Amino acid sequence: MQDRKRLEEAIANDERIRGLTDDLDTLFELAREGEDVSLDIDRDMKRYGDLLERLETAMLLSGENDARSAIVTIHPGAGGTESQDWAEMLMRMYLRWAERAGFQTVVTDRLEGEGAGIKSVTFEVNGENAYGLLQSEIGVHRLVRISPFDANARRHTSFASVFVFPQVDDEIKIDIKLDDVRIDTFRSSGAGGQHVNMTDSAVRITHFPTGIVVQCQNERSQHKNRDSAWKQLRARLYEYELEKKREETRKTEDSKLDINFGSQIRNYVLAPYRLVKDLRSRLSLGDVDRVLEGDLDPLMHAYLVWRRTGKTAGDGKDGPDGAGE
């Protein structure tokens, strides 16, 4: 059924391209005859360009796990409330992007910060190509702004790390021995009132050989939380094995750098000027608010082109080795 859906979508896209091409040919013919159709041409050219960019992005997603759904975790760096607030801003940005892109999201674990923000969050992004697109977000994100928590209105720099794992379905067998795990139950935390859970429904699973710990507390049912935690653990173990293979060919990985200066993949500057710049593809965007509202498609597309061709969004001469300068 999934293969059929992909084929039907490919046929539909081909028909859309043919239809838009015919419409543009007609508009250009009318323009040659002297009619004022410039607004119609601008509108259809934008639709045509947007469609082609989406199709190019889909063609760039050819990795083994790119078509899978994703599990995203966000952790703030050093800096207390500042970094915790930045981590929550990133979570909101990704959830809004997922909503715009038509993905379904489920927050499986969220640890509130002290005063503001979050100490950590894990959520699922369910839909085709979610993992392939979100790979562009793996790494450290740096924010520069006038702090809303500083009475002297000084400029602060905050860091948060984003990790993305592919969701492992039942077709891929991950052998987990029960002797290698410990399952703990506890009461889920919340904002009080009706959100307080009076039973031990939250579930935490610890995998001893790897040290991986996952937990889920968003459901009131312990069974649902347990199923979600097992799904997270299978995904984490699958990514763990892939990571070991990657380490055989390279010693360092950008996404595993310290959450501080010099290790970021993207800068978000709100003061003294406003700019979002990806340090790999070198794509720069001036509309920071639009990016933080979830418009990540240009950044994701530029990353996928950079990953495939080694060309940046700048002069096109710098490959992966020089993109972080």
> What digits encode the pLDDT tens for the residues 147-183?
888 878 788 999 999 999 988 765 556 778 888 899 9
**C-alpha closest to that of 111 among 123, 97, 103, 99:** 123
State the pLDDT confidence band at 314, using cuts at 50, 70 and 90.
Answer: low
Which strand (E) or helix (H) includes residue 215?
Answer: strand 212-216
Confidence band, pLDDT 50/70/90 cuts, at residue 254? very low
Q: How far is CA 91 from CA 49, 88, 124, 147, 255, in A?
A: 29, 5, 11, 19, 17
- DSSP string spanning 282-293? --EES-HHHHHT
Query: How confident is the model at residue 2, as a pLDDT?
Result: 72
- The pLDDT value given to residue 90: 97
Query: pLDDT confidence of 322, banded at 50, 70, 90?
Result: very low
Task: Phi first, then psi: give them for residue 114, nearest 5 degrees.
Answer: -90, 105
How much is the CA Rg of the chain, to the nearest whole Å? 22
Q: pLDDT tens digits, residue range 25-56?
A: 999 999 999 889 889 999 999 989 888 888 88
pLDDT at residue 102 is higher than 70: yes
pLDDT bucket at 79, cuts 50 / 70 / 90: confident
Is the predicted pLDDT of residue 249 greater than 60, yes or no? no
Tokens matching residue 77: 């760096």
In the block, tokens 């004022």 appear at 36
> Could you tell me if 52 and 18 are in contact, meaning their C-beta atoms sit under 8 angstroms apart?
no
Lookup: tokens for 225: 């939380």
pLDDT at 251 (0 to 100): 46
Q: With bands split at pLDDT 50, 70 and 90, how would you rate the model's confidence at 198?
A: low
- Residue 323 or residue 192, greater confidence: 192
Specify the pTM. 0.70
Q: Which of 43-47, 105-109, 194-198 has the lowest mean pLDDT?
A: 194-198
**Of all residues in the chain, what percent carry a pLDDT higher than 90?**
46
The rounded distance, in Å, linking the Cα atoms of 6 and 258 is 39
The burial of 169, by beta-carbon neighbours within 10 Å (0-12 exposed, 13-18 middle, 19 or more buried), is given as: exposed
Listed in sequence order, the residues at least 6 apart from 111 whose beta carbon sits closer than 8 Å to its beta carbon are: 118, 119, 120, 121, 189
Any idea which residue has 């979050």 for tokens? 118
Per residue in 217-248, pLDDT (tens digit) is 888 888 889 989 998 998 888 888 877 766 65
Q: Tens of pLDDT along 257-292?
A: 556 666 789 999 998 999 999 999 999 999 999 999
